[in-house]
A and B are shown apart, each in its own frame.
Chain A
Amino acid sequence: MNAPKQQQTAGSICMRVSDLTVVLAESGEPIVKGVSFELRAGHIFALVGESGSGKSVTSLAAMRLLPDALKISAGSVDVEGADLFALSEARMQEIRGRKVAMIFQNAMSALNPVQTVGNQVAETLKLHTPLRGAALRNRVIQLFTEVGIPDPDQRFGFFPHQLSGGQQQRVMIAMALACEPDVLIADEPTTALDVTIQLQVLNLIRELTRTRQLAVLLITHDMGVVRNTADEVAVMYRGELIERASVDQFFHDPQQAYSRKLIDALPDLEHFRAAAAEEPLLVLKDVKVHFPIRKGLLQRTVDYTRAVDGVSLAIGRGETFALVGESGSGKSTLGRAILNLEEIAGGEILFRGEPIQGIGRSAMLPYRKQIQVIFQNPFSSMNPRMTVGDIIAEGMISLGLALTEDARNARIHELLARVQLGAEHARRYPHEFSGGQLQRIAIARALAVDPELIICDEPTSALDVSIRAEVLELLAELQREFGVSYLFITHDLSIVPTLAHKVGVMQLGKLMEQGTAEQILTAPQHPYTQALLAAVPRLED
């Protein structure tokens, strides 16, 4: 294996997918309809689409790794002149990992939890090369070094859970590259990672593409990733390739309305919202939330996890404050603390000048009308056993609004109409709606009690890009209409400009920097903010 491999000449075709069609095995309903493309050495080919568009199924079909419920009904995949669909399963096993390798979205679950990462990479080498013993180990360590894993010799014996998310994905990449394949299929390789790590992993993939002359199929829903990484783009919509172009051409002159919509979702870093009224509605002074760490024989509290460690901020009436941070930064905990769902270890929360921290359940009731919440996952934030009408009515009933049933129903219909749903939807159950519709119902539920402040905890991160824009637009409209304030918790700096008046950047429980959206996004002071901003995809480089 150490002998120099015959390099693919740049631009030569390494894999050709022709007329691929995948159907549901039982009903014969098509999932992927006649998709064709080719992958060239040294090129990154991005396949873009929303969840359910069939892009992941396409990649799994190319590897013949489809689950039992799906079936390839037509088409071919050519690698070095051989049709993969015509090969025996045993021959196919030689191709996988050797000629065509794959990396997956969630590295934590894609790695075997009870095997050391070194052995998992070594297993691929053992399958396809004669390397054994010390040579095998050295090769793995060499690969680890190549993909930028620090201390590779020591990390060899680590289990997946002992590595960070970024390092896990690097192990996956090392595993995929171990046998020097010609083709690499990367299925949403960075979606589960924090933005700053995301950028590093993408850079690594781009670099390896050039140095090894890999042909890469990059599957993603993120237009920013495409813009920064790919050479060529294909858009998939409902199982079909609707547009295909080079990256430059695609972003400057998209042919399809759907493509246009995807590109429009990219942030505009030039226009910001002017600051709203200065009258403060909610003021946080040095708020702390601590979780005890118990240790030893008697489980005494020896220390605290400082989830929120002294945060001070102010939100004005009719204003949007975007709280930006990566997972684990404490931003959601802060939101829950404001709602009095989490106990506060110190500091003050003032709502219209009155302290509301640590007050009892019943004392909190009047404020519940004024402070409402929208959660990240629309599917788990609605009780599956209640109708949409009952869900929206719940707050009105418990907080004593709209006492007669008629008044309540009228209000529900009015709210549903306001979020662009029909009155007939009130009798339906949550599972009959799509994610975007559910999130609009969640907005209606929050609005039902006429709140002055809505805490939006990542309300759009579970949604597809095109729907995301609609929900954000709805939120902005409602703000203009009702003068409601938002505390908008997000990990995605790119949605901030269209949305926020003020921005705060949180890391490890502390507010690193805050200011107007324009200040933060054009002249960030803190290095962490700068790193976050660098990871934001832009239309114009």
Chain B
Amino acid sequence: MFAYIVRRLLYAIPILIGVNLLTFTLFFVVNSPDDMAASQLGDKYVTPEAIENWKQKNGYDKPLFLNPDVAGLARLTDTIFFDKSVRLFAFDFGRSESGRDITTDVASRMWPSLAVALPTFLVGIGVNICVALMVVMFHGTRLDRGAVFLFVALMSISYLFYIIGGQFLVAKTWRLVPISGFHAEGQVWKFLILPVLVGVVAGIGAGARWYRTLFLEEANQDYVRTARAKGCSELTILFRHILPNALIPILTGVVVLIPSLFMGSLLIESFFGIPGLGSYMLDAINSQDFAIVRSMVFIGSILYILGLLLTDISYTWADPRVRLS
């Protein structure tokens, strides 16, 4: 088990290097720092001097991979690649193009993101499982078919409409909670209810439908017939036999998302004005702040790899048949 985890962590290194190379290529080779300067400065102010100034200010005035002007190891370290990419491995994200320290920003914005994403995630799974179980109990009836159609219809509505509709109904028409905003002190929950609610409702269609399929898949297994032959009631079969088995794919399917909860949700956060990492990314995209985008790509990759590892570990915990080696 321990050896397995260590091996998986070692395997993460080439992947992170790959991610880094890819983003570096995207940001510095496809578009040279000159191009970036030109577009940041705007058409009117593009002069060679202005570009040089901008590059110097933002630390893009070095060669990409190899610096022939200096000696020794500095040939490799005194380059854009080292400054902008290799340093990420030490979690040194540097400064954004507007001059703010990215590490501090990330550390402080992580928590509001989590405050929205975690309840959404947990409540969502709970609600989806309950809804799916109810539907499965009526399997084969009209209710079941109607519910499946409803799930598909819910899935077909854009996430944006859930947010806009939720804000319009709950906050504007019924005036139950504030439309948006976030205050760390006092009544945080007031600001969290609506985003969480919207997140959960938006996920019901796809989630409940998926869980329903998983439950039905298990319901077709031989051991369910055995349980029936023993004299178990249908409810006992559903809760004591089908549910524990279906939890394995459910668990392993959602565990991969847990670390990424820190990243928050782009849409929810921007609509509800929550100062988390999601809105941070959106702002960075809108202001074309590539330093932030690059850092967030790196963090996102790490969290995803962590999620994969957690998935494997959760397998051994949920399924007695699986042993990691």
Residues of A bordering B, CB below 8 Å? 63, 65, 68, 90, 93-98, 101-102, 104, 106, 109-115, 123-124, 127-128, 159, 161, 172, 175, 295-299
Residue of A nearest to B247 (CB): A114
Residue from B228, B229, B240 with most neighbouring chain A CB atoms (10 Å): B229
Among the stretches B55-63, B219-227, B258-266, the one at the interface with A is B219-227
Residue of B nearest to A294 (CB): B325
Question: Given A112-B241, A113-B320, are A65 and B228 neighbors across the interface (CB < 8 Å)?
Answer: yes
- Tell me the smallest distance from the CB of B227 to a CB of chain A, in Å: 7
Residue from B6, B228, B232, B320 in contact with A114 in the complex, judged by beta carbons closer than 8 Å: B320
B230: chain A residues at CB < 8 Å are 96-97, 101, 123-124, 127, 175
> Is the beta-carbon distance between A106 and B222 smaller than 8 angstroms?
yes
A110: chain B residues at CB < 8 Å are 222-223, 225-226
> Is the beta-carbon distance between B7 and A299 smaller than 8 angstroms?
yes
Besides A104-B225, A127-B230, A298-B7, 12 other CB < 8 A contacts? Answer: A63-B229, A104-B226, A104-B229, A111-B226, A112-B223, A112-B227, A113-B319, A113-B320, A114-B319, A115-B244, A123-B227, A175-B230
Residue of A nearest to B248 (CB): A114
Tell me the bound Cα distance from A175 to B140 in angstroms. 30
Residue from B226, B233, B319 with most neighbouring chain A CB atoms (10 Å): B226
Residue of B nearest to A158 (CB): B320
Judge whether B231 is part of the interface by a CB distance below 8 angstroms: yes
Judge whether B184 is part of the interface by a CB distance below 8 angstroms: no
B30: chain A residues at CB < 8 Å are none
Residue of B nearest to A121 (CB): B230
> Is the beta-carbon distance between A68 and B140 smaller than 8 angstroms?
yes
- Tell me the smallest distance from the CB of A133 to a CB of chain B, in Å: 19
- Tell me the smallest distance from the CB of A104 to a CB of chain B, in Å: 6
Residue from A65, A123, A161 in contact with B321 in the complex, judged by beta carbons closer than 8 Å: A161
B318: chain A residues at CB < 8 Å are 114
> Is the beta-carbon distance between A113 and B229 smaller than 8 angstroms?
no
> Is the beta-carbon distance between B223 and A109 smaller than 8 angstroms?
yes
Judge whether B245 is part of the interface by a CB distance below 8 angstroms: yes
Judge whether B3 is part of the interface by a CB distance below 8 angstroms: yes
Question: Given A93-B232, A127-B232, are A113 and B321 neighbors across the interface (CB < 8 Å)?
Answer: yes
- Tell me the smallest distance from the CB of B230 to a CB of chain A, in Å: 4
Interface of B is mostly: helix
B321: chain A residues at CB < 8 Å are 113, 159, 161
> Is the beta-carbon distance between A124 and B231 smaller than 8 angstroms?
yes
> Is the beta-carbon distance between A65 and B229 smaller than 8 angstroms?
yes
Tell me the bound Cα distance from A295 to B227 in angstroms. 38
B10: chain A residues at CB < 8 Å are 297
A104: chain B residues at CB < 8 Å are 222, 225-226, 229
B232: chain A residues at CB < 8 Å are 93, 123, 127
- Tell me the smallest distance from the CB of A212 to a CB of chain B, in Å: 18
Contact digits for B240-282, partner A, Cβ 8 Å, 1 yes 0 no: 1100110010000000000000000000000000000000000
A123: chain B residues at CB < 8 Å are 227, 230, 232, 240
Q: How many B residues, CB 8 Å from partner?
A: 27
- Tell me the smallest distance from the CB of B242 to a CB of chain A, in Å: 10
Residue from A63, A96, A159 in contact with B320 in the complex, judged by beta carbons closer than 8 Å: A159
Residue of B nearest to A178 (CB): B230
A106: chain B residues at CB < 8 Å are 222
B229: chain A residues at CB < 8 Å are 63, 65, 96-97, 101-102, 104
> Is the beta-carbon distance between A95 and B231 smaller than 8 angstroms?
yes
Tell me the bound Cα distance from A112 to B231 in angstroms. 15
Residue from A113, A159, A296 in contact with B223 in the complex, judged by beta carbons closer than 8 Å: A113
Interface pairs (29), CB distance under 8 Å: A65-B228, A68-B140, A95-B231, A97-B229, A97-B231, A98-B231, A101-B230, A102-B226, A102-B229, A104-B225, A109-B221, A109-B222, A110-B223, A110-B226, A112-B226, A112-B227, A112-B245, A113-B223, A113-B320, A114-B244, A115-B244, A123-B230, A124-B230, A124-B231, A127-B230, A127-B232, A159-B320, A175-B226, A297-B6
Tell me the bound Cα distance from A161 to B3 in angstroms. 24
Could you tell me which residues of chain B, from 151 to 180, have a CB within 8 Å of some CB in chain A? none
A114: chain B residues at CB < 8 Å are 244-245, 248, 318-320
- Tell me the smallest distance from the CB of A340 to a CB of chain B, in Å: 31
B241: chain A residues at CB < 8 Å are 112, 115
Tell me the bound Cα distance from A95 to B227 in angstroms. 13
Residue from B230, B241, B245, B248 with most neighbouring chain A CB atoms (10 Å): B230
Tell me the bound Cα distance from A109 to B229 in angstroms. 14
Residue of A nearest to B320 (CB): A159
Residue of A nearest to B2 (CB): A297
Tell me the bound Cα distance from A112 to B228 in angstroms. 12
Tell me the bound Cα distance from A409 to B267 in angstroms. 64
Tell me the bound Cα distance from A299 to B325 in angstroms. 9
Tell me the bound Cα distance from A102 to B229 in angstroms. 6
Residue of B nearest to A293 (CB): B325
> Is the beta-carbon distance between B3 and A128 smaller than 8 angstroms?
no
- Tell me the smallest distance from the CB of B322 to a CB of chain A, in Å: 10
Tell me the bound Cα distance from A310 to B7 in angstroms. 35
- Tell me the smallest distance from the CB of B97 to a CB of chain A, in Å: 42
> Is the beta-carbon distance between A96 and B228 smaller than 8 angstroms?
yes
B325: chain A residues at CB < 8 Å are 295
Tell me the bound Cα distance from A298 to B240 in angstroms. 40
8 residue pairs, one from A and one from B, having the closest CB atoms: A97-B231, A96-B231, A109-B222, A102-B229, A97-B230, A159-B320, A112-B223, A110-B222
Tell me the bound Cα distance from A109 to B232 in angstroms. 18
A68: chain B residues at CB < 8 Å are 140
A90: chain B residues at CB < 8 Å are 233
Question: Given A113-B320, A114-B244, A115-B244, are A93 and B231 neighbors across the interface (CB < 8 Å)?
Answer: yes
> Is the beta-carbon distance between A297 and B3 smaller than 8 angstroms?
yes
Residue from B3, B221, B245 in contact with A296 in the complex, judged by beta carbons closer than 8 Å: B3
Residue from A95, A112, A297 with most neighbouring chain B CB atoms (10 Å): A112
Tell me the bound Cα distance from A102 to B231 in angstroms. 11
B140: chain A residues at CB < 8 Å are 68
B319: chain A residues at CB < 8 Å are 113-114
> Is the beta-carbon distance between A161 and B222 smaller than 8 angstroms?
no
> Is the beta-carbon distance between B245 and A113 smaller than 8 angstroms?
yes
> Is the beta-carbon distance between B233 and A93 smaller than 8 angstroms?
yes
Tell me the bound Cα distance from A93 to B228 in angstroms. 8
Residue of A nearest to B220 (CB): A67
Residue of A nearest to B225 (CB): A65
Tell me the bound Cα distance from A299 to B3 in angstroms. 10
B320: chain A residues at CB < 8 Å are 113-114, 159, 161
Could you tell me which residues of chain B, from 283 to 325, have a CB within 8 Å of some CB in chain A? 318-321, 325
- Tell me the smallest distance from the CB of A371 to a CB of chain B, in Å: 37
Tell me the bound Cα distance from A227 to B6 in angstroms. 58
- Tell me the smallest distance from the CB of B231 to a CB of chain A, in Å: 4
A113: chain B residues at CB < 8 Å are 223, 245, 319-321
A112: chain B residues at CB < 8 Å are 223, 226-227, 241, 244-245
A94: chain B residues at CB < 8 Å are 231
Tell me the bound Cα distance from A172 to B225 in angstroms. 13
A297: chain B residues at CB < 8 Å are 3, 6-7, 10
Could you tell me which residues of chain B, from 195 to 235, have a CB within 8 Å of some CB in chain A? 221-223, 225-233
- Tell me the smallest distance from the CB of B218 to a CB of chain A, in Å: 10
Could you tell me which residues of chain B, from 62 to 77, have a CB within 8 Å of some CB in chain A? none
- Tell me the smallest distance from the CB of A174 to a CB of chain B, in Å: 12
Tell me the bound Cα distance from A452 to B230 in angstroms. 54
Tell me the bound Cα distance from A115 to B237 in angstroms. 13
- Tell me the smallest distance from the CB of A106 to a CB of chain B, in Å: 6
- Tell me the smallest distance from the CB of A363 to a CB of chain B, in Å: 37
